[in-house]
Amino acid sequence: MSGPSTYQPQHKALQWIEQRLPVMNFVHSSFVAYPTPRNLNYWWTFGAILAMMLAVQIITGVVLAMHYTPHADLAFDSIEAIVRDVNYGWMMRNIHAAGASMFFIAVYVHMFRGLYYGSYKEPRELLWILGVIIYLLMMATGFMGYVLPWGQMSFWGATVITNLFSAIPLVGDSIVTLLWGGYSVGNPTLNRFFSLHYLLPFVIVGVVVLHIWAMHVTGQNNPTGVEPKTEKDTVPFTPYATLKDLVGMSAFLLFFSWFIFYMPNYLGEADNYIPANPGVTPPHIVPEWYYLPFYAILRAIPNKLLGVVAMFGAILVLLFLPWLDSCKVRSSRYRPLAKRFFWAFVAVCLLLGWLGAKPAEGVYTVMSQVLTACYFAYFLVVLPVLSRKEKTLPLPNSIADDVLASSSSKGKSLASVAVIAALAGTLVVGASQDAKASAGGNVPPSLEWSFAGPFGTFDRAQLQRGYKVYKEVCSACHSMKYVHYRNLTEPGGPGFTVEQAKAFAAEAAPIKDGPNDSGEMFDRPRRLADPFPSPYPNEAAARFSNGGAAPPDLSVITKARSYERGFPQFLIDLVTQFQEQGPNYVAGVLRGYEDTPPEGFVLPDGAYYNKYYPGHAIKMPQMLMDGVVTYDDGTPNTADQLAKDVTAFLMWAAEPHMEARKRLGLQVMIFLALLTGLLYFTKRRVWANAH
Amino acid sequence: MTTEVSTEPTRRDFLYIATGAVAAVGAAAVVWPLVSQMNPDASTIAAGAPIEVDLGPVAEGQEIKVFWRGKPIYIMHRSAQQIEEARTVSLSSLPDPQSDQDRTKEGHEQWLVVVGICTHLGCIPMARQGNYNGFFCPCHGSQYDSSGRIRQGPAPANLPVPPYQFVSASKIQIG
């Protein structure tokens, strides 16, 4: 990649290596001496952040693959085993799952930055195209990774996305069969997706190398879009750009940690905590948030083939961007009209994303169609016309001139960002109010939980009471197959002693073991290592005994149930760390029975009316009445209290390491805040020489 | 680019050293969970709980192989001759001196309980084979006597005795 070596190491042994393989010269010229424009702002650090995220995803992915089982019957169980039993497994999984979202956040910032500053223009066309290829590969990798937990969203996401290819004329169905390896999405699909999910990140690494190589040939673009002319316009990559990148990376990690340690399920779907069921599609199926704008475009077109074409076209149009926008001025700073249209385009993308999460009906479809038209118009009409007609502002003579003159104009761009954000915000709020009104008022009340918030912990006595309620009432019909008796003694749990837990295990229904020496299966008492017993031998038996509705396993029920929070509540939740939809819903349903359904509601036979249950007709009768369980600690055993206690117990069962997660999170956040501060001041000190 | 001579080198150095040190601590802290996750997980540890083995069906001159923590455990019902051989050999002639009394439970001399993994490179020795009426490892020819002690071959140590106790006259608990 490089010509004759100009870098001469001092040490003899290093010289010997350098004469044969000039690797140090390569590193020195690419990452130390490499001249980088001196006016790069923090938006430019997202390249380094993306490199970091790719490394984070590969490392945590390799770790997860050590514990994951790619089999339709075992995948879901193995993920639960990872988050419950593997040392730091919960953290690895949270990093990897939230990391995918962070990767996309960073890549969208990176792409919009390129769009704003015209980084795709001559001579950087190939650099941009390589970036679009990386983005496509990321989407494929992210999609296949989302399938691996084999929950309901995994399964139905895989079904819907693979069916996109059936729209292709003539060969579509054959392609879908190839993707599935069967008559439908099943175990062969999961196996090949796992294989490809492991492969594609390394392909991404390869294209990233080309991307960086291309960037080193053309040099980086910069906020003025004026090429560096003299040495005054640039600074060496190390220490200047490296330190600035490190500040950006550290600050990004701080943001990332918020999700890893405090909001691990915020970016996911509750339905994915329900194991895949090929017989039932979730009522409201949505892809991961980073695909939503394209999902909205797909659904906007009322024709299968054209919808798919539009969706892929929306991404592929980016490949032609360098030629669609032929304006010689790169940066939108000097293109007043292009700048406004750019922000309008950002708003269009955000709104399309919001629409992608809404049901495809009524006003949403119309809005999606209008915005899809806007999306394509930006690339196919606005940019080509602007590049011919727009009167651009005068460019600075050089980067150095711009740096000297820039101190006065800083507030302006910030103000324009604020205006556009406010505009987009009000639009979305207005639209979401309509949506809320139609959704109806059956949201369970928000209860006070001891485990809520950044410092929340479980109330041991409450968990012990909750276990009693589960054991005496719920366990008659519901299994909890991921919870073992040994878990009852673990730190952060109900705090039972080993003797108590052993006694609970011994008095529970025996477990089938064997075969013994004579080849027969036998029953033996449960031990600490055994899971809670299941009341029915299999799902069919559970269904048969309960009027056709199998009582769900309760191990992760508080993570598998949720309700809509709506805009802007869901953004406020991000800051207040509200994530108790599951417990609120479970406690709500337990207490939401009404003897007489509202007028006009026809209750099917064998069902009961419940305010909070979707559809209101629940097969489970009301079980928690005042006094059905006797408490030993003097707590009043009202039905409300029983419901709250058992829900707290179920929350612990769904996330036994929650306390460890929040505790470690606080340490990590403090550490990263310190590191970011130190890096920032070091960066300032170093850059003081350059100004 | 201009280079200035800093007027306060100590303060600057302190900032650089502090930043570098904090970053190094962070990097080290990241390694910890990545290594720790490779240790046995909680279910594996829980499954390694003690097991009970009924010795009733094992007649003199027979042995059984049971698995505990994924390892084969030989439980050998020794004959009087085997016990005598194991107890009369002079300890100084052994590569890894240990008396048979130390390797069995008093009052249950006829029972030898050893981990059936060759201490050389982990193959499973065959019982009642070799020159010492004990175990012979087919991989590299190590020979163990009727007390499971190394007598000949490349293995450096005796077959280890797992922790176990008699819970009744004919039942042991391993672990």
From A187's Cα to the closest Cα of chain B, the distance in A is 25
Q: Does A506 touch chain B (CB under 8 A)?
A: no
**What is the four-CA torsion angle of A220, A225, A227, A230, rounded to 10 degrees?**
-100
DSSP letter for each residue of A121-156? STT-HHHHHHHHHHHHHHHHHHHHHHHTT-BHHHHH
Nearest residue in chain B measured CA to CA from A59? B34
For residues A353 and A296, is the Cβ–Cβ distance under 8 A? yes
Q: Among A377, A418, A458, which residue's Cα sits nearest to residue A653?
A: A458
Tokens of A334: 């000097």
Tell me the pairing of strands B134-136 and A617-618.
unpaired
Q: What is the pLDDT of residue A566?
A: 81
Q: Does A66 touch chain B (CB under 8 A)?
A: yes
Q: What is the pLDDT of residue A565?
A: 86
Is residue B28 included in any domain, yes or no?
no
Cis, peptide link before residue A568, omega less than 30° from 0:
yes
Q: What is the pLDDT of residue A421?
A: 63
Cα(B162)–Cα(A329) distance, integer angstroms? 78
Q: What is the pLDDT of residue A374?
A: 97
Q: Does A92 touch chain B (CB under 8 A)?
A: yes
Q: What is the pLDDT of residue A274?
A: 96
CATH code, domain carrying B111:
2.102.10.10
Q: What is the pLDDT of residue B2?
A: 46
Cα(A630)–Cα(A471) distance, integer angstroms? 12
* A369-393 mean pLDDT: 96
Q: What is the pLDDT of residue A419?
A: 62
Out of A118-122, A516-520, A642-646, B23-27, pick the least confident: A516-520
pLDDT band at A434 (very low <50, low <70, confident <90, very high): very low
Tokens of A538: 């299999």
| Chain A hits for B47, Cβ within 8 Å | 529
Query: Would you call B1 and A235 a contact, using CB atoms and an 8 Å cutoff?
Result: yes
Whether B120 is catalytic is no
Residue among B23, B29, B37 minimizing CB distance to A86:
B37
> Is residue A431 over pLDDT 60?
no
Is residue B11 included in any domain, yes or no?
no
> Is residue A244 over pLDDT 60?
yes
Is residue B60 included in any domain, yes or no?
yes
pLDDT band at A422 (very low <50, low <70, confident <90, very high): low
Share of chain A above pLDDT 90, in %: 84
DSSP letter for each residue of A540-597? HHHHHHTTT-PPPP-TTHHHH------TTHHHHHHHHT---HHHHHHHHHHH-B-SSP
Q: What is the pLDDT of residue A570?
A: 87
Q: What is the pLDDT of residue A690?
A: 78
Cis, peptide link before residue A123, omega less than 30° from 0:
yes
Share of chain A above pLDDT 70, in %: 94
Residue among B23, B42, B46 minimizing CB distance to A675:
B23
Q: Kindly report the length of chain B.
A: 175
Q: Does A522 touch chain B (CB under 8 A)?
A: no
- The kind and range of the H/E element at A609 are strand A608-609
Query: Would you call B36 and A674 a contact, using CB atoms and an 8 Å cutoff?
Result: no
From B37's Cα to the closest Cα of chain A, the distance in A is 5
Is residue B147 included in any domain, yes or no?
yes
| Chain B hits for A672, Cβ within 8 Å | 26
Cα(A62)–Cα(A65) distance, integer angstroms? 5
Residue among A88, A675, A685 minimizing CB distance to B36:
A88
Nearest residue in chain B measured CA to CA from A236? B1
Q: Does A678 touch chain B (CB under 8 A)?
A: yes
Cα(A690)–Cα(A10) distance, integer angstroms? 28
* A479-491 mean pLDDT: 96
From B13's Cα to the closest Cα of chain A, the distance in A is 10
Residue A466 makes CB contacts below 8 A (sequence gap 6+) with A494, A645, A646, A647, A648, A649, A650, A652
Q: What is the pLDDT of residue A424?
A: 57
What are the pLDDT digits (tens) for A594-613? 998 998 899 998 899 999 99
Is residue B38 included in any domain, yes or no?
no
What are the pLDDT digits (tens) for A673-690? 999 999 999 999 999 977
> Which residues of chain A from 483 to 502 reach within 8 Å of chain B, CB to CB?
484, 486
DSSP letter for each residue of B54-65? E-TT--TT-EEE
Query: Would you call A685 and B12 a contact, using CB atoms and an 8 Å cutoff?
Result: yes
What are the pLDDT digits (tens) for A313-334? 999 999 999 999 999 999 999 9
Q: What is the pLDDT of residue A432?
A: 42
What are the pLDDT digits (tens) for A29-62? 999 999 999 999 999 999 999 999 999 999 999 9
Residue among B4, B12, B46 minimizing CB distance to A529:
B46
> Is residue B3 over pLDDT 60?
no
Cα separations in angstroms, A685 against A237, A691, B6, B117: 16, 11, 10, 62
Residue predicted with more confidence, A406 or A529: A529
Tokens of A236: 């060496």
Number of CB pairs, chain A paired with chain B, less than 8 A apart: 73
User: Could you give the angle at the alpha carbon of A448 between the alpha carbons of A443 and A449, nearest 5°?
Assistant: 110
Q: Is A164 exposed, middle or buried (0-12, 13-18, 19+ CB in 10 A)?
A: middle
Q: What is the pLDDT of residue A433?
A: 42
| A436-469 exposure pattern, b = at least 16 Cβ within 10 A, e = fewer | eeeeeeebbeebebebbeeeeebbeebbbbbbbb
Tokens of A153: 């969203």
From B167's Cα to the closest Cα of chain A, the distance in A is 18
Q: What is the pLDDT of residue A426?
A: 54
Q: What is the pLDDT of residue A425?
A: 55
For residues A599 and A612, is the Cβ–Cβ distance under 8 A? no
Residue A453 makes CB contacts below 8 A (sequence gap 6+) with A576, A577
* A491-519 mean pLDDT: 92
* A149-162 mean pLDDT: 96
pLDDT band at B1 (very low <50, low <70, confident <90, very high): very low
* B153-162 mean pLDDT: 96
Q: Which residues pair with B51 in a beta bridge?
A: B174
Q: What is the pLDDT of residue A361?
A: 87
Q: What is the pLDDT of residue A418?
A: 65
Query: Would you call A85 and B43 a contact, using CB atoms and an 8 Å cutoff?
Result: yes
| Chain B hits for A91, Cβ within 8 Å | 33
| Chain A hits for B3, Cβ within 8 Å | 689
Nearest residue in chain B measured CA to CA from A56? B30
What are the pLDDT digits (tens) for B22-73? 999 999 999 999 999 999 999 999 988 888 899 999 999 999 999 999 999 9
Query: Would you call B15 and A681 a contact, using CB atoms and an 8 Å cutoff?
Result: yes
Cα(A297)–Cα(A317) distance, integer angstroms? 14
Query: Would you call A87 and B37 a contact, using CB atoms and an 8 Å cutoff?
Result: yes
> Is residue B110 over pLDDT 60?
yes
Q: Is A624 exposed, middle or buried (0-12, 13-18, 19+ CB in 10 A)?
A: buried
Query: Would you call B43 and A690 a contact, using CB atoms and an 8 Å cutoff?
Result: no
Total number of domains in chain B: 1
Report all structural domains of chain A as residue ranges with CATH numbers, in order of start: 12-396+411-439 (1.20.810.10), 460-664 (1.10.760.10)
Cα(A232)–Cα(A397) distance, integer angstroms? 12
pLDDT band at A439 (very low <50, low <70, confident <90, very high): very low
Cα(B58)–Cα(A109) distance, integer angstroms? 72
Q: Does A529 touch chain B (CB under 8 A)?
A: yes
Residue B61: domain span: 46-174
| Chain A hits for B36, Cβ within 8 Å | 87-88
Tokens of A439: 């959704």
Q: Which residues pair with B127 in a beta bridge?
A: B135
pLDDT band at A2 (very low <50, low <70, confident <90, very high): very low
> Helices marked H in B37-158 — which ranges?
42-47, 80-88, 100-103
From B7's Cα to the closest Cα of chain A, the distance in A is 13
Q: What is the pLDDT of residue A284?
A: 83
Place of tokens 């996750």: B37
From A197's Cα to the closest Cα of chain B, the distance in A is 21
Nearest residue in chain B measured CA to CA from A78? B43
pLDDT band at A411 (very low <50, low <70, confident <90, very high): low
Residue predicted with more confidence, A5 or A589: A589
